Structure 1
Amino acid sequence: MFLRRHSENLLAELRARLPERLPRKLGVAVSGGGDSVALMHLLHEIAQTETTTVFVATVDHGLRPEARQEAEAVSRQAAALGMAHDTLHWAGWDGAGNLQDHARQARYKLLADWTRERGIDAMALGHTADDQAETLLMRLGRSSGVTGLSGMSASRQLEGLTLLRPMLGITRKDLRAYLAGIGASWVEDPSNQDTRFDRIKAREALCGLKPLGIDALSLSRVADNLAQAHAALGVFAQESARNVAQVEQGDVKVDRAGFAALPKEIRRRVLVRSLAWIAGQGYPPRQAAVEQAMEAMTDGRPGSVGGCLLVPKGNSVWICREFRTVEAQVSASDEVWDGKWVLSGPEISGAEIRALGEDGLRQVPDWRETGRPRLALSATPAVWKGETVLAAPLAGFANGWRADTSPEWPEFYASFLSH
């Protein structure tokens, strides 16, 4: 009776953090550890009453000899549950850099490629309340603000794939009790005992906080509360951006006085989101660089941050792409340039898309009529044939061509709520 009630509670907690309507195909990443194995079994139970098919993938990083056997064990469990399973192999580490970071990035890329091949729209990951608590402690050590202390999100987008973390309110202890109750086996990764890693240090520190009433669940709830505050600040930042910033053909033009009047946290969000929208998603600039950029904007000084330039002009500051970050990018005329721009026009043999640059601007005498700063225009896409500019639609020289943002590129104001 206890085991059934325990299982029902876990299922209810997990289902509450999943989308109201599950996708037709749902992927689940299973390493063989207790957390992900429990997730696989729980999702199998949910799938029995809902119109979704669960697919299982295990990433073998090739770093431990036991990994192959662990993937095979997951495959056997998945087969017993009637689930399709694939093992994804990584062999890309050259021994340089941060191993954990390289492995994490490779894992997500392999999983994203796998879901596209399988036609899967969403992928469930086995992060737990303990993982959330450890993340919160590590980010406290880095003096993170509201955004960082919101922890891992229950849902996020990665290259068109929806990543789901439905177990952020469930502890490892409860998951292992569930697995023991159903007679399922799992493995323990030896790296979970390696105190060289910050996460393991955070795990040990968490044990020492129990006398204060601080545990995985309480910290996970703190992260949930901060995530709500983060979302509210996002709405405020979006409305503030509507008032002080406007899009000018891929650049963001910010009213300097209006920007300066905003609360500091909202100024930071408007700037960081503008940079991400112009230059593409990625790790945001360091806090010190953002602070310096905010001061430059309010003072009307030029600056460079996050692959973008700050160009004062009159009462405004233009945030635009920095030429040096795109000067080496070359695309065919039918390809997306800088991950953002799609140029369309007459078919011309040998034409390619490159940044306009100073050499190109000299071939576009009417660029001043656009009203945009010279530095902003130099980083815009142009159609070249050899050393000749055939068209530069964003610089006032269309010549039968047009430049549009890729359909995958978000609308500027909507991007404040989509990250």
Structure 2
Amino acid sequence: MSVDSLLADAELEEFLTLSAQSPFFPETKPTGVAVAVSGGSDSVAALHLMVQVAQLQGFALHAVTVDHALRAGSAAEAAGVAQMCAALGVPHQVLRWEHGEVEGNLMDAARRARYGLMADWAAAQAISHIVLGHTADDQAETFLMGLARKAGIDGLVGMQSHWDQGGVRFVRPFLKVARKDLRCYLMQLGVSWIDDPSNDNDRFTRVKARRALKALKPLGITVDALGQVIDNLFLAQGAVETATRDAMERVCREDAGEVVFDIREWRRTGQEEQRRLLVAILRRISGAGYAPRGSGVLRVMQAINQGQDATLAGCRIRVSDKLFRVVREPRAVAGVVSRPDALWDGRWQVDGPFAAGQVVRALGADGLHQCKDWKSTGHSRDSLLVSPAVWYNDVLIAAPLAGFGRGFDARIVAPFNLFVLSH
């Protein structure tokens, strides 16, 4: 091996180690870190790099593998990862996705299950961070997939470098690192990895994007080039988010679970800021994990501008001359019942002197009829119909927002401004 290649090897390892440290330097002090390891090259490289970082920074390191149980051999691959971790002295856990027939988008369902399982496991182990091995190649593929969906800025800026779920922070330290560099690092170590056969299955959109990226290389559309495009879009996204933040403060407010928009200020707001605000509000009120389809959002925006009511994503949009209100649709909460210790409709926390057998469900028309002074609350009838109430069988015990009953309180757990700005 030449002196030049030795220097290149040393520089590569330094670059990768600094990347691996980036989520934990300088102020973050994790209570424990886990690496999600599938056995593929990216996650195996992440594991080896995090072993070094854990030694440098003095935190406990774990590894976790999710067996999706979707193909033969997945359990054996998880067992192989367990052996690898044992050789490195890293505690390892296999989490199995127990499922029946998966309907709809298989990859999306698997992704949701994977992160949910890992978040629950990490929280139970007092692990504060989970490291994912996604690379610049994954970013470029995600960009192409966004193009295929005709996505806007948010769908083209790639994957998030971090996000919080269930009290655990997921981090992607290698989004600026090419997959070939991680594989080069593993070859230097003499470490092998598993090639997932699904990576050759044209059934999956990401595989198609990966092959398209290879075909586009002669045009100069490479992983590095798309990475620069994503960086530029990220800056543009920040400018739009700032404008949306400013618009939120003057255009809308939350009242009893509904969001009230000032029509005059709405019309003074740019179309993209309007769209972002509306999407965020629909997600807040409906509790949906994803934004509604763009065609549906455009339809609602047109209805608002024409002074017409509309519905979308389990929400009603009520339009008048001076304002419009976005409120939960009654049929969306019909039959939604929660125990006293659980959130109702995914966002309401009800506190009070609950007795045995009492539950939380929507107030509804029958309940509102019993609240003789509801008009004095200043809340709209639409919002109170879908507000949380305490029931014992068919007996109304309390309706906090409608001024009925004593000792009970209802509140939305996520602050309005923080929710809007984070979606």
Which structure 2 residues correspond to residues 19-418 of structure 1 after superposition, within 5 A? 20=26, 21-94=28-101, 96-406=103-413, 409=414, 411-418=415-422
Q: Is residue 69–residue 97 contact of structure 2 (8 Å, CA) maintained in 1? A: yes
| Residue 18 of structure 2, aligned match among 12, 15, 19 | 12
SS of aligned partner of 1:80? helix
Q: How many residues align?
A: 416
Q: Counterparts of 2:24 and 2:157 in 1: how far apart (Å)? A: 18
Q: Counterparts of 1:401 and 1:103 in 2: how far apart (Å)? A: 40
Q: Is residue 26–residue 53 contact of structure 1 (8 Å, CA) maintained in 2? A: yes
Compute the displacement of 1:105 (Å). 2.1
SS of aligned partner of 2:407? coil
Deviations 1:187-245 (A, max 9, x none): 10011111222111111111122122221122123223322322332222112111111
Q: Is residue 377–residue 402 contact of structure 2 (8 Å, CA) maintained in 1? A: yes
Residue 3 (structure 1) aligns with: 9
SS of aligned partner of 1:209? helix
Residue 3 (structure 2) aligns with: none
Of 185-194 and 325-334, deviating more is 325-334
Structure 2: where are the runs of 5+ without partners? 1-5
Q: Counterparts of 1:319 and 1:338 in 2: how far apart (Å)? A: 16
Q: Counterparts of 1:7 and 1:334 in 2: how far apart (Å)? A: 50
Relative to structure 1, is the Cα distance of residues 312 and 172 closer, same or farther in structure 2, using a 3 angstrom cutoff?
same
* Identical-residue share of aligned pairs (%): 42
Compute the displacement of 1:380 (Å). 0.3
Compute the displacement of 1:374 (Å). 1.7
SS of aligned partner of 2:57? coil
SS of aligned partner of 2:325? strand
Deviations 1:306-345 (A, max 9, x none): 2211122451111111111111111233432112222223
Of 10-19 and 123-132, deviating more is 10-19
Q: Tell me the amino acid that sits aligned with residue 65 of structure 1.
A: A
SS of aligned partner of 1:93? coil
SS of aligned partner of 1:48? helix
Q: Is residue 310–residue 320 contact of structure 1 (8 Å, CA) maintained in 2? A: yes
Q: Counterparts of 1:123 and 1:363 in 2: how far apart (Å)? A: 50
Q: Counterparts of 2:405 and 2:299 in 1: how far apart (Å)? A: 37
Compute the displacement of 1:265 (Å). 0.4
Q: Counterparts of 2:128 and 2:108 in 1: how far apart (Å)? A: 25
Q: Counterparts of 1:293 and 1:229 in 2: how far apart (Å)? A: 25
Relative to structure 1, is the Cα distance of residues 277 and 101 closer, same or farther in structure 2, using a 3 angstrom cutoff?
closer
Q: Counterparts of 2:386 and 2:217 in 1: how far apart (Å)? A: 54
Compute the displacement of 1:22 (Å). 4.3
Q: Tell me the amino acid that sits aligned with residue 140 of structure 1.
A: L
Deviations 1:131-167 (A, max 9, x none): 1111100110111001101111101122332211111
Q: Tell me the amino acid that sits aligned with residue 125 of structure 1.
A: L
Q: Counterparts of 2:203 and 2:341 in 1: how far apart (Å)? A: 48
Q: Is residue 93–residue 102 contact of structure 1 (8 Å, CA) maintained in 2? A: no
Q: Tell me the amino acid that sits aligned with residue 386 of structure 1.
A: N
Q: Counterparts of 2:246 and 2:314 in 1: how far apart (Å)? A: 25
Compute the displacement of 1:50 (Å). 0.6
Of 138-147 and 160-169, deviating more is 160-169
Relative to structure 1, is the Cα distance of residues 312 and 369 closer, same or farther in structure 2, using a 3 angstrom cutoff?
farther
Q: Is residue 18–residue 164 contact of structure 1 (8 Å, CA) maintained in 2? A: no
Q: Is residue 254–residue 260 contact of structure 2 (8 Å, CA) maintained in 1? A: yes
Compute the displacement of 1:97 (Å). 3.4
Q: Is residue 138–residue 202 contact of structure 1 (8 Å, CA) maintained in 2? A: yes
SS of aligned partner of 2:269? coil
Q: Tell me the amino acid that sits aligned with residue 106 of structure 2.
A: L
Q: Counterparts of 2:418 and 2:72 in 1: how far apart (Å)? A: 46
- TM-score norm. by structure 2 comes to 0.93
Q: Is residue 353–residue 383 contact of structure 1 (8 Å, CA) maintained in 2? A: yes
Q: Counterparts of 1:193 and 1:259 in 2: how far apart (Å)? A: 48
Compute the displacement of 1:178 (Å). 0.4
Which aligned segments of 4 or more residues in structure 1 are displaced greater than 6 angstroms?
A: none
Structure 1: where are the runs of 5+ without partners? none
Compute the displacement of 1:98 (Å). 3.2
Q: Is residue 253–residue 319 contact of structure 1 (8 Å, CA) maintained in 2? A: yes
Q: Is residue 340–residue 405 contact of structure 1 (8 Å, CA) maintained in 2? A: yes
Q: Is residue 266–residue 274 contact of structure 2 (8 Å, CA) maintained in 1? A: yes
Compute the displacement of 1:349 (Å). 3.7
Q: Is residue 139–residue 149 contact of structure 1 (8 Å, CA) maintained in 2? A: yes
Q: Tell me the amino acid that sits aligned with residue 280 of structure 2.
A: R
